[in-house]
Amino acid sequence: MADAAARGTISQLWRYPASSLAGERQHAIEVGSRTVDGDRLFGLVDATSGEIARPDREAKWHKVPLIRTRLSNARELEVAVPGGGWLAAPGAESDRAISAFLGFAASIRPFRQDDAAPDYAGPLTAERYVKTPIHLLTTASLARLKTLHPEGAADPRRFRPNIVIDMAPVEGSFPETEWVGRKLAIGDLLLTVSEPCRRCGFTIIAQDGFDADPGILRNLVRHNAHNLGVYCTVDRPARIEVGATMRFV
């Protein structure tokens, strides 16, 4: 049985229809056994080389997280560059807008044919890495980072979680880092915390509302072995909503 006392509640839910581009905040998400529904279906590539976007490593990709994404009711991707309207993607018009924004030829491509629109006949691209089903982050860890780096913006968007759990700060601790191996119940969803989430250079990049900040990663390296948040595997899939409680099992 789950512990009687709730340890926190869901304050934010996110999915990321296209890797490295801005995420889409949700009131509810469907969590399957392998991934969140609608999560990381597309990639952005250099149209000349086929290289997939790497904002964590190359400056030419640093503006990519400013490109917004959403899935339509028909589960088709739409993107918007700053100052522009929503455009269907993949498509020539959206590729032109993204290329103009980045300053070089770039293209949105699906990872799998099944995720593209029925009439899509363009190329696919390979996923950059094998993702763990769920990335969970607590406000307690964000509060700890803010204590260590008060001048910085400890915004969840830097870290691209699927689930943000609102819980009281734990003095001197990034609490979920200590949960590896434990099981969590969130509503009807059952998860096992599998490993800490090792952070990369993506966390320091500017996004809408906050500037580039190397101090974010520097403090995580110094005080939490590069880590913030945890990855989880799914023991029991379920739909979860903002406000659902989290308990240890």
Per-residue pLDDT tens over the stretch 7-61: 899 999 999 999 999 999 999 999 999 899 999 999 999 999 999 999 999 999 9
- Pairs from 151-156 (Cβ < 8 Å, separation ≥ 24): 151/215, 152/213, 152/215, 152/216, 152/219, 153/209, 153/210, 153/211, 153/213, 154/216, 155/207, 155/209, 155/210, 156/12, 156/14
Q: What integer pLDDT is reported at residue 6 of this predicted model? A: 60
**The token pair that represents 203 in the structure block:** 């966390």
- Give the pLDDT confidence score for residue 2 in this predicted structure: 42
> Among all chains, which residue has been given the structure tokens 């509640």?
9
Tell me the pLDDT band of 172, cut-offs 50, 70 and 90.
very high
Record the pTM. Answer: 0.94
Taking the alpha carbons of 147, 152, 153, 154 in that order, is the dihedral positive or negative?
Answer: negative
Q: Is 8-35+131-248 in CATH node 2.40.33.20?
A: yes
- Do the beta carbons of residue 196 and residue 244 sit within 8 Å? no
Over residues 213-225, the pLDDT tens digits come to 999 999 999 999 9
Residue spans per domain, the chain: 8-35+131-248, 42-115
Residue 65 three-state SS: helix
Give the model's pLDDT for residue 58.
Answer: 93
CB-based contacts of 70, cutoff 8 Å, min separation 6:
17, 24, 77, 78, 86
